[in-house]
Chain A
């Protein structure tokens, strides 16, 4: 830090002041505004702050925040780790995270999918973890085939970066194939509706359980180095490790944990050392948190897109456990609710289902078509008080989730 040029030191200091003022004003954790001020004063600040550190970038459509947290937890034996723990995943957030930990030799940065090429160019990250790509809010997110192509190009020009990628996702595999060295993790893929075509030539992909290959060209699933099978991870040396001790539920988190183990192994942290640290992560920015309210144990699940809903369904309490669905369509959610029609809600038949959020009528129409009985309520409190005391699962998209969190306590 002290070897930063004077201008950069000033940029960091003013950025911190702005962040602090933002926090005091109750406008969040201040990492976006702090980074913005810093970058305005020194456009090369991210490059300077990244210098002499070992950095991991983490990107995907789903699971970025959780996997960033898992990797960070497992890297603690190495010393202090800088990280953007609050999901501020663009360069402004990266600047704040690195500036806040000037002495940290390691950094784990969650990175928005679109910013991977830019952040890779500016930081020359040592390891890039790429997990999955699927349809997301299309009114603001990029088209994913295009996105994977940009990852590929960026990695071709970053030969020092080692990639840890999920080879069960064909699009991710194609994007990661631009890298000079890759660790392939068979981390699973449950949402397949975006990977029926070969990203290389457009031909049909033949899929057979986890394996896949193009019928027309040579593009095929690489042989995995790490394999997740059920709740067991097998390392490249053939040793197997059960993931049953994880506190985070569901197959999506087993997948995130497998990626995390492969990433930290690059830094010499062995699975037996990493696993107990992964197990300590109980909730991530409110996701999977259980809050107590009037005798109800409300568990909050965040789902932002069709692939995310599949993973939320995977961790629901068994039927007839009640479920609340809360849908908004603010900017961060995407203003378009069309994606509701990509989710198969029939799995909710046989449970009491409550629907709320600003776009509850969209959800009502969707559930009606899926022949899932439901009750529409004006807000979450009505649903909570209508179910008997006990467990209640709440699935919400981004701003709906934040509203519910704010209401029942911002437990991290």
Chain B
């Protein structure tokens, strides 16, 4: 970590915050706090410049129009690009995931230029995917299954520069049997809203990348009970 404080940056809560997206900042704050890691969280509205000295950048979900506005403003601002080039951690869900790619589908399905931070392209699928999603995470990331809720009509194709985050066990995800994508320290997922709540290992992966060292375990009794309940609800 380049400074003495973990800096969490929540990108555009005025555009990309539809459904509990704030949960991801709360989870990271809590997991840092319980380990005695000093942190600060910055909420960056879409009329403000994106700071380039953050350690973890979070992008949430949004409706079609806000998603297009967010992509335009982030491209014009350039701060997220500079942070990513520096090696900052980026975690994006749903609309935020799509707009990290080179292209995504607009209100009428028209192609909209994305940020090009992940080698993915997204379009509009025929049916909305709504429900629980479970996936087996790419082995090299070494973590347990992911569990979340998806609510999107997007279909995402990965280019050679990105790898799938997980193989879908239940649900839809990218639409090709895989869910999400990652490259370097950038992760995107169709698990919407507070995706880190049910996936403490994923939250810790982001923190570990950000601070560059292993983290002591914390009491995850409730989160693990929730994981177990949700996994049982869809897999049994």
Residues of A within 8 A of B (CB): 135, 138-139, 143-146, 193, 196-197, 202-204, 215, 335-342, 361-362, 364-365, 368-370
Contacts and interface: CB of A to CB of B under 8 A. Distances in A.
Given A138-B18, A338-B193, A341-B22, A197 B149 contact: no
Given A341-B194, A341-B197, A145 B47 contact: no
A29 to B, nearest CB: 29
Interface string B2-39: 00000000000111011111110011001000000000
B229 interface: yes
Contact of B20 (A144, A197, A340): A340
Interface stretch (B63-71, B167-175, B182-190): B63-71
Contacts of A202: 65-66, 69
B19 A336 contact: yes
Interface stretch (B82-90, B110-118, B220-228): B220-228
A364 B222 contact: yes
A25 to B, nearest CB: 30
Contacts of B225: 361, 364
Contacts of A139: 130-131, 149, 151
12 contacts: A138-B18, A139-B131, A143-B18, A196-B14, A202-B66, A203-B47, A204-B47, A335-B130, A338-B194, A341-B197, A361-B222, A364-B226
Given A197-B66, A342-B20, A342-B22, A204 B46 contact: yes
B27 A369 contact: yes
B192 interface: yes
B124 interface: no
B18 A135 contact: yes
A193 B13 contact: yes
B45 interface: yes
B18 A369 contact: no
A336 B149 contact: yes
Contacts of A365: 197, 222-223, 226
Interface string B44-85: 011100000000000000011110010000000000000000
A245 B131 CA distance: 45
Contacts of A361: 222, 225-226, 229
B92 to A, nearest CB: 16
In the A-B complex, the 3 residue pairs with the closest CB atoms? A341-B23, A338-B193, A338-B20
B11 to A, nearest CB: 14
Contacts of B193: 336, 338-339, 341
Contact of A146 (B21, B63, B194): B63
Contacts of A144: 63
Contacts of B26: 341, 369-370
Contacts of A362: 226
